Structure 1
Amino acid sequence: MAALPYMQFYVADYLADTAHLSAEEHGAYLLLIFNYWQTGKAIPKKRLQMIARVSNDRWADVEQAISEFFTEVDGCWRHDRIEADLAAVRESQDQRARAGKASAEARKRAKQSEKKKEINDASTTVERPLSDRSTNKEQNRTDTDNKTPPSSGDDDPGQVDDSAKSDPVDYKGIINLYNDLLGEFLPEVKVLNEKRKRLIKARWKQKFGEHSHGSDMDFWRRYFLHVRRSKPLTGTKDGFDWSPGFDWLLNENNLAKVIEGNYHQGDDYRNDIREAS
């Protein structure tokens, strides 16, 4: 076990148990239990005097005085109270480690489930292959009447249909920034559908503070970097099994909360968006 920066020390109990010790014996005893806690194991007898820092002519008397607090086992001095405290600390560390692994596994399953859902959702917008002959007459009639093929711009962020050429909104640029800065933490955007176009367009027209505008790509870079700095929003906070997606981050109310630092604390709180405003 790695050394901890602290140990449990019950002053009243210590003074009651050691009232008969001299100042020299107090010092030797404290040095020994400090070493015991730091190393996490019993102390070999051959190292006792060196750790206690007692001279040769005084060691025999000091050793006899403080030996009552230890039990000799296999040539080592064992301290029962410290052993009990160390066992409790080890158990606590093991519990936190197990909880951390469970949390990481839950996040992994959630991301896999989200990606699977996105793939399934995307597959429903793909045009039926020509070789697929439906036996349903009503379906065939509907397919015949609907002569306008689905727009590829809804399925691929990298493609935009002819009607979008006059649209000034940089859908692809915002999605690419999101994927580049947050793709390692959150589900990547692979489908540009009408719902996401509406979200992006609404934020594109919006003003955030005095100097930040939705049509400014630098604002989106700073916004996604601000999200990246938040442990809850990137799913990296222990015991926090939720993380958002692209649609959630572009929701007007959620975006305002993120900008205002509702999901940031401590070292994560530095706000590039406010600083630029």
Structure 2
Amino acid sequence: MSTPYFRFYPTDYEADTAHLTLLEDGAYSRLLRLCWMTPGCSLPDDEGWIFRRLRVRGDDEKQAVRSVLNEFFRKVDGRICNDRLAREHEQAVGRQEAASENGKKSAAKKASLKTNDFISTNQNQNQNQEEEEDKSSLSSADDGAVVQPIDEIAIAVSAYNASAASAGWPKVQVLNKTRRSSLKARLKDCGGLDGWVVALAKAKASPHLCGQNNRGWTASFDFLTSQSGFTKLMEGNYDDRQSPQQNRQSAADDRFGRIADAAVRNRAPSRPDFGFR
């Protein structure tokens, strides 16, 4: 796991390096940075590789690097490492992994809360609608009662989830602002709830949208409410296509039907009141 920074303690560093020359101090600083950015927080035991990476020029710089390596680094299994830097690297990786895990837990908790809010909202809407229907049934049509508007969005989502259960599509768990806006636009495109039901039936009748393809891909709420996906659906791009053999059989059946129909039409009627005119 990549860690872009490490903790630096000036007091500790100065206490350990006060005897270094300016050239050696600069070499030590570069070695620490290079070691930190190298996988495993260690360097290969290859002096030429290290010189190239540190951009060493001249014998005095090479000697400064050798002095620092001999004093502050040690060799382990063909690698060169600094014990203090290795401990800092291990602690940094641990903190980063802990932060990542906490982030995942927080995201999962937020998603769960959104799902619960969505379910609770739908339940409250259904309960309120039932209460309004009960009130309407107890009053006459001449009482001047105000008819509550139908929540097309909630009904359309329920219709999708019912279709998803039989078609194998993923059900809607969260209805955010973006999804609501897309669904509202598609309802407008197809003329309301009746057109939406027709679109869902058309999608369910498509083997391709129900997973019968080489990837096992299925349609989803976001796909069906996208402008591109919905347009392709309604234009028949995903309609079931008969195989050539089925098409030939269908054509043969049509020809047989026309021959039989012609035979019936040409048959002499037994009574004037019956037959074709």
Kindly name which structure, 1 or 2, has the bigger radius of gyration based on alpha carbons.
Answer: 2
Q: Which bracket does the TM-score occupy, shorter chain normalised?
A: 0.3 to 0.5
Q: TM-score, normalised by structure 2?
A: 0.46
